[in-house]
Amino acid sequence: MQRLGGVGLAGLDRHSQSLQSFAALSSNLAQTQLQSLQSQLSQFRTALQSFAIEHRDAIRKDPAFRVAFQRMCASIGVDPLAGPRKGGVTGAGSWWSEILGFADWQYELAVQIVDICVSTRDRNGGIIEMGELVRLLSVMRGIRDPALGEITESDITRSIETLRPLGVGYEVITIANPSSSSPTKMVRSVVKELDTDQTVVLGVAQTLGGFVDESALMESHGWRPERARTALQNMLLRDGLCWIDEQEPDGNVSYWVPSVMRWQD
């Protein structure tokens, strides 16, 4: 019995040593793979940095090139156009901003967005269509510095994100468009959120070229007259999102919604 016990202990010892050897080998392989991966990432980062520096002007000025560059980086989990981040590696976000000179560009665009939203708030109640905002920004930037290049809706969305910490209510919202399968994007520059009826009114007004009345809401969505009248009156008196027109030839009252109208200035 003692002999069998000795053989058993020796076997357990050899098994334990084998497990330790396999663990050491596994650890060495994992360390080797990690070092190889770090080396590849370092080489890729260097190559991407060189590409970004070489094409920095094109990334800033050409929206199509900027989108293509962003998609290429997104496929590997890199967001080169993001601003500084909280937590994580110190300066991880600002490193790209510094390489591309993109942080100042986005902040400047955000200031221009605020400028336009504030200056048009009296006529649109603090809601402006994305396409109209792009147009006004293009006019503004063309007058100040044509070399800055075109901007896209994606650029505007990113710049508005930089305003979020300020808590001033700037946000990109979507409005269902009855005449199109794709929703309409709008920028809200007031803290108050739209209710469901206001969203419907905006969609119908956009379809009709900027105006809406009770009968249009009743026909398109089956509303009762009281609901249509209340929604329009709230947008007029409470929220200042529309203008009233009481001079229709047929005597009906129409409401014009500036946020979905096209302006020439």
Q: How many CB atoms lie within 10 A of CB 79?
A: 14
DSSP alpha helix (H) spans, the chain? 2-54, 56-61, 63-74, 92-100, 102-119, 121-124, 130-144, 153-161, 196-207, 214-221, 225-233
pLDDT tens-digit profile of 20-72?
777 777 777 777 777 787 787 777 777 777 887 787 777 777 777 777 777 77
**What pLDDT band is residue 7 in, cutting at 50, 70 and 90?**
low
Q: How many CB atoms lie within 10 A of CB 69?
A: 20
Residue 147: predicted pLDDT: 47
Is 170:113 a contact under the CB 8 Å cutoff? yes
Residue 1: predicted pLDDT: 46
pLDDT tens-digit profile of 216-258?
999 988 999 899 988 888 888 777 788 888 887 777 888 888 8
Residue with tokens 């009743």: 218
Crossing angle, helix 196-207 and helix 225-233, to 10 degrees?
A: 90
* Tokens, residue 173: 């919202």
Residue 8: predicted pLDDT: 60
Whether residue 93 is predicted with pLDDT greater than 70 in this model: the reply is no
Averaged over 102-126, what is the pLDDT? 84
pLDDT tens-digit profile of 154-196?
889 988 988 887 777 888 988 877 666 778 888 988 777 778 8
Q: Is the pTM of this model over 0.75?
A: no
